[in-house]
Amino acid sequence: GGDLETAQVATACRSAIRNGTPLTLPEMQTLVDQWQQTRNPRTCPHGRPIYLPLEEANLSRFFRRHWVIGKSHGL
């Protein structure tokens, strides 16, 4: 029921990595890997968005640059 779900949401919030917490590259990769396995990777347990897709076209417009990802700087 609702009480269990409420408790789970509260636990998730208390367990969350806080803004500004430094992470190593392996910690970041683990976080992304675990996030991709969640039931709903687009929102937090409260329903707020936690994911923003960044499309290459939008990035190039924002930065006023035109590049092909993977083709610059030997990447």
DSSP states of the chain:
-HHHHHHHHHHHHHHSPPTT----HHHHHHHHHHHHTSS-TTB-TTS-B------HHHHHHHHT----TTSSTT-
The pLDDT assigned to 23 comes to 94
Question: What domains lie within the chain, and their CATH numbers?
Answer: 24-75 (3.30.1540.20)
The pLDDT assigned to 21 comes to 92
User: What's the pTM value of the predicted model, to 2 decimals?
Assistant: 0.56
pLDDT tens for each residue of the chain, 75 residues long: 578 888 877 887 777 788 899 999 999 999 999 989 988 889 888 888 988 888 888 888 888 887 766 665 554
